[in-house]
């Protein structure tokens, strides 16, 4: 991992309307990446005009919150490029997009509506994966293979985005062909996350994948009610990786998403040009990265999305994670660890591998995610004494938790936030590896 850790945390969203609620979530994501010094916004779409959000008069006219002048509208999207670093010598591109509900605001507001600026787009295989009463917010990630037009530090991995890239609010996706593809200047392909967008794992076609459309994203957030559902969200990232923690009902039970690097195992590191993976455990409340769980099904319809870059092939496979579930992690005799200074609680890296066995057996153990880690026997919303990391998950003490970097700049107390914009921080503590 590289660079300082930056966060936009303790964002409390309670608008009283599901459309406005999701727009605030999207706006917070935009603000985080737009102000991060290692990300470049290469494409930006303000969203649908003529169909204002319930409490807006300027939807689709800018980058503001719904109740501000010139605000994001339905089907607004942006593409942020994570510029290459020494630890990650390739660019990663992220597409974020949100849509409204067909039952409340009509067909033209749903994710990827044909009449509107956001087509094509799907989230977990659908424009409304949770049903007609739910809003949708999704994210994709892509890595170009070969070609040009990337950042200065990514000479061998160009820009796979096939839409326009003026970044002034009017960008569009391609009307014909895929959203992502081979970069210009001789590029040979693109890896697109979640895994359902890759129909050529190991060079073999797989039925059920989206193959060439590359339009399916991982659902990050959705809401089905207008009353009494307060959400608390945290976004934290360094120059290579980022994560989002979401407490849908603001009751201490979180679910997670992670996009970024993993540490390759020593005996396979030389075969891994792209040590990159993604996990979006949508609405898995409270979080439970279950043993042998799969992220990124071939059909792209599961609520548990993601993927991992394979060795050699330049393609994306299903991510499988392994969980330490026995004595050293869970048993209170061992955790806290009475052999560690101060009887410390241990953090455990997340074991990551690929699970692909049809039509060819490609499964294998690849390495360890360390930006976020497992923890057990600690309460949710607990922090290290220096506030460099926080523990989030279930309100049940012995259930699995996830630790992630936190605000050692301001020493922000968990659950102290009360504004939708939250608290921002920059620190050199708390990252992985």
Distances (CA, A) of 316 to 252, 294, 312, 363: 33, 13, 11, 12
Residue 206's pLDDT is: 60
- Given a cut of 60, whether residue 204 has pLDDT beyond it is no
Q: What percent of the chain has pLDDT over 90?
A: 71
Which letter does DSSP use for residue 183 in this model? P
Task: For residue 215, give the DSSP letter.
Answer: -
pLDDT the model gives residue 1: 66
Q: Please tell me the distance from the alpha carbon of residue 303 to that of residue 293, in angstroms, as a whole number.
A: 12
Instruction: Please tell me what DSSP assigns to residue 107.
Output: G
Location of structure tokens 């494409």: 43
Domain coordinates in residue numbering, the chain: 5-427
Among 79-88, 262-271, 318-327, the range with the most confident prediction by mean pLDDT is: 79-88
Angstrom distance (rounded) from CA 132 to CA 112: 14
- How high is the mean pLDDT of the chain? 91
Query: What is the average pLDDT across 312-335?
Result: 82
How far CA 153 is from CA of 17, 85, 139, in Å, comes to: 43, 7, 24
pTM score, two decimals?
0.96
Angle made by CA atoms 72, 3, 143, in degrees to the nearest 5: 60
């Amino acid at each position: 991992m590289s660079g300082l850790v930056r966060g936009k945390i303790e964002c409390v969203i309670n608008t009283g309307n599901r459309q406005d609620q999701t727009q605030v979530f999207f706006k917070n994501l935009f603000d985080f990446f737009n102000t991060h010094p290692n990300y470049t916004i290469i494409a930006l779409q303000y969203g649908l005009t003529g169909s204002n959000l319930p409490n807006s008069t300027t939807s689709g006219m800018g980058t503001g919150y719904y109740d501000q002048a010139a605000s994001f509208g339905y089907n607004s999207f942006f593409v942020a490029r994570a510029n290459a670093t020494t630890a990650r010598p390739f660019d990663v591109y992220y597409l974020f997009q949100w849509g409204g509900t067909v039952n409340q605001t009509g067909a033209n507001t749903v994710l990827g509506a044909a009449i509107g600026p956001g087509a094509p787009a799907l989230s977990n295989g659908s424009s409304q994966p949770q049903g007609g009463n739910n809003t949708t917010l999704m994210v994709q990630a892509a890595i170009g293979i070969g070609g040009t037009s990337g950042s200065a530090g990514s000479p061998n991995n160009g820009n796979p985005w096939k839409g326009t890239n003026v970044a002034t609010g009017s960008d569009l996706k391609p009307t014909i062909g895929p959203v992502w593809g081979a970069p210009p200047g001789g590029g040979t392909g693109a890896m697109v996350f979640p895994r359902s967008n890759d129909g050529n794992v190991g060079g073999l076609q797989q039925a059920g994948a989206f193959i060439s459309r590359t339009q399916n994203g991982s659902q990050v957030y959705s809401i089905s009610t207008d009353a009494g559902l307060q959400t608390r969200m945290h976004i934290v990232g360094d120059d290579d990786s980022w994560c989002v923690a979401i407490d849908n009902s603001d009751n201490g039970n979180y679910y997670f998403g992670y996009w970024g690097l993993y540490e390759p195992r020593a005996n396979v590191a030389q075969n891994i040009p792209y040590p990159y993976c993604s996990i979006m455990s949508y609405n898995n409340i409270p979080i439970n990265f279950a043993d042998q769980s799969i992220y990124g099904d071939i059909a792209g319809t599961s609520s548990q999305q993601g993927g991992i870059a394979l060795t050699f092939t330049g393609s994306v496979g299903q991510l499988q994670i392994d969980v330490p579930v026995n004595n050293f992690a869970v048993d209170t005799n061992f955790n806290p660890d009475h052999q560690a200074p101060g009887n410390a609680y241990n953090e455990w890296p997340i074991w990551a591998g690929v699970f692909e066995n049809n039509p060819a057996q490609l499964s294998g153990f690849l390495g360890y995610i360390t930006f976020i880690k497992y923890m057990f026997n600690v309460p949710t919303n607990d922090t290290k004494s220096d506030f460099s990391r926080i523990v989030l998950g279930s309100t049940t003490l012995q259930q699995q938790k996830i630790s992630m970097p936190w605000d050692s700049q301001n020493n922000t107390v968990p659950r102290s936030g009360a504004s939708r914009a939250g608290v921002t921080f920059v620190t050199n503590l708390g990252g992985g590896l």
